[in-house]
Structure 1
Amino acid sequence: MEADLGFGAQSRAIFAQAPFESRGRLCPEPESPTRTPFQRDRDRIIHSSAFRRLKHKTQVFVYHEGDHFRTRLTHTIEVSQIARSLARALRLDEDLAECLALAHDLGHTPFGHEGEDVMHECMAPYGGFDHNAQSLRVVTSLEQRYAEFDGLNLAWETLEGLVKHNGPLLSQEGAPLGKFKDSELPFAIRAYAEKQDLLLDTWPSAEAQAAAIADDIAYDAHDLDDGLRAGLFAIEEMRDVRYLASILDEVDSKYPGLEESRRIHEIVRRSITRMVEDVIAEA
């Protein structure tokens, strides 16, 4: 089947996730004759209600302040593009990386991280709120579209990468790690782990790690873009950051007198390119 669909198994890196070696789904389903498991997951995510709702969720600026500021939806699309670029260069499974990029903010609140902080405070008596845990709830329970199951019934690798894209959540001894080290894992994650073991004490796939890095690259560059266009700081102030100063010098040297909107775009696109190429070189 893999050869018939042209997925190029011979060109994959040895650490890439092979689509037809998936651990499967919580509710077993027949394989698709035309799509890999991760391609099916991508399509389910894109057609979900939660994905459509991202268009009204804040990235940094609320969406009605201007058509050119990013929302969670436009941010998500940009992350997926960068994730695919990284996956292609590193010979990973592009579809799995794209899945994880498209799903990574499904559980995020409106009003950016400020909204998450307020939700966490409101939910403190019940264990708090975490947008990654909420994303898991969305794709395993809250989406109620299919006749045979709640959620999207995504492949194990997609769920694992969604929950652990920032690294293991538990130590080998079972103690919470990272931001949960002084508390406990969110209820949604603990409850789902009773149904399906996502190996919370291990690192996720290389595809999940690529999606996480793509998220960092996207918001670093595009928050800079939105901040410049909103007038929160001036282009010349970027010279205080050596990395950005070198890009600014490069743009001004090649395009002296360039109008500001194009100047901003040239700075941002070069910033993304440098970060992507650096990841590839260091991998």
Structure 2
Amino acid sequence: MKLTKGVLSAIYALLIIIPVIVIFFATFKSTSEMYKDVLGLPASFGFDNYLTMFTEESMSTYFWNSVIVTLISVGMTLFFSSLIAFAITRMSGWPGRILFGLFTLGMMVPAQVNMIPLYQLVFDLGLTNSLTGLILVNISVTLPVAVFILTGFMKSLPSTLFEASRIDGASNWQMYRKIAVPLSLPSISATAIFLFVMNWNDLLYPLQFITDSDYKTLPLALLEFQGEYMTNYPMLFTGVIIASAPMVIAYIFLQRYFVAGMMAGSLKG
């Protein structure tokens, strides 16, 4: 049984690693070299494609747009969702259940259903072709998911801690800041990684609300390398590697928080 699991794990790992290696090697090839030998090694390991991305393709602008949108969206979503989750757990009876149910319903509505009314709302507010509009949309879309995750964790916190702090004269804000948030850090960290991936990789909403090249994010900018009759795969793969690098780096340094948050949620659920 152990041997079978090991073989299956090795096959699964190869299925993941081989495409990544092929894509990485392709970033060092020219278009003609790519079409001539897809799986072969590049003739030279020059960084021409990477330099071109940042000097001729405005990749630095797209990169920083993604950074700004992602960091602000994740930060604001975590702040509001933790406040809402704390409020839900402190509300007794049906009001808390109804509020939690409303956010849960928000997770059940497909994004495609909201596209037209959401675009009309953003257009009426004059926030199309702006990072501000994109940030507000991201917050509204990801808030139900974050509330759902954090509420499940905060419900498991001992109520005696809040009762004791209330007796000592602590306000709701003090209980949120000094008790709920510190104890929920594992779950908040795991939620932050989840939200980071969602916002960083999002293509639907930038494609819907952004047409000005000055406000494009990385996923939207990568579409420029796909033509009707021919696709510049070396440049496209170079953009994919650049876009994936922050997520890989973030996961390497934050994986212990992600695992701790998942384990905490499963044990306390």
Normalising by structure 1, we get a TM-score of 0.31
Question: Which structure dedicates a bigger proportion of its chain to helix?
Answer: 2
Greater RCO structure (CA 8 Å; 6+ sep): 2
Normalising by structure 2, we get a TM-score of 0.32
